[in-house]
Structures are given as C-alpha cells and as structure tokens.
C-alpha cells in the first residue's frame, strides 16, 4: 500500500513548510491527485490522518482535487478527457499522449501561525 508512504512524505513536506515559515500549525493542505497517479483517495486520506498524529499537522484537513486523465490521440491529435486504454472516439486509436492525470502534488499548505500548539517538529 504505497498510500502510507505518500501520506508520510506529504506530512513531512507540510511540517517542513511550517518550520520554514515561522512555525505554527498546519491546518489545511490541498493535494492535486491525477486519476492516473495510482493513489486511492480514501486510503490516502486515512493514511494522511494517521501520519499527522504527533506533528504540527495533527488535525490538518486534506482537500483532494481530482484531476481527470486528458489525452491527445496519437493519430488524429484530438485532445479530450478519457481513461486509458479507451480508444479515441474520433478515430478509434487506442491510448494516446497523456497531457494530464499523473499529478500527485501538494498544491497549497495553510498555516495557523498564531497557534501555540505547534506539536512536535517531526
């Protein structure tokens, strides 16, 4: 289950960001999650909640923005949202160049610098 490792890495990034920006608690984070990333949102959310325990990100709300797969057909060059390996609806060619959908990135981290409860510096 790679979601546990991903969640731990996200918490590490958030905690480091808090430290680099004057401390405080991490109260929210936004994750861009592509449909082709291989990560399962519910499992990732659960793992994130567990990974934040005992850190300045404890109780942090994780907002997941799901990014659909967007492909460009290799044959006719049509761009559209569709899943792999679904064929192009215009010409029937399977697959295509992936333009979006692989994202797995913390986009924003919200801090509460006025908080006295900064937790550990894990």
Range 2-70+103-112 classified under CATH 3.40.630.30: no
Distance CA 88, CA 83 (A): 10
For helices 2-20 and 41-52, the axis angle rounded to 10 degrees is 50
Q: Which residue has the tokens 């900064």?
A: 118
Assess whether pLDDT exceeds 90 at residue 114.
no
The rounded radius of gyration (Å) of the Cα atoms in the chain is 18
Strand, coil or helix: what is 110?
strand
Q: What's this model's pTM, rounded to 2 decimal places?
A: 0.85
Assess whether pLDDT exceeds 50 at residue 47.
yes
Residues 6+ apart with CB under 8 A from 5: none
Assess whether pLDDT exceeds 60 at residue 120.
no
């Amino acid at each position: 289950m790679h979601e546990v490792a991903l969640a731990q890495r996200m918490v590490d990034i958030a905690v480091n960001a808090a430290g680099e920006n004057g401390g405080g608690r991490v109260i929210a984070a936004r994750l861009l999650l592509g449909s082709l990333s291989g990560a399962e949102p519910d499992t990732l959310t659960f793992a994130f909640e567990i990974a934040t325990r005992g850190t300045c990100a404890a109780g942090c709300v994780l907002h997941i923005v799901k990014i659909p797969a967007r492909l460009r057909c290799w044959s006719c060059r049509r761009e559209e949202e569709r899943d792999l390996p679904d064929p192009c609806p215009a010409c029937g060619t399977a697959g295509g160049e992936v333009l979006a959908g692989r994202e797995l990135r913390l986009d924003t981290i919200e801090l509460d610098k006025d908080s006295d409860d900064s937790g550990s510096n894990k």
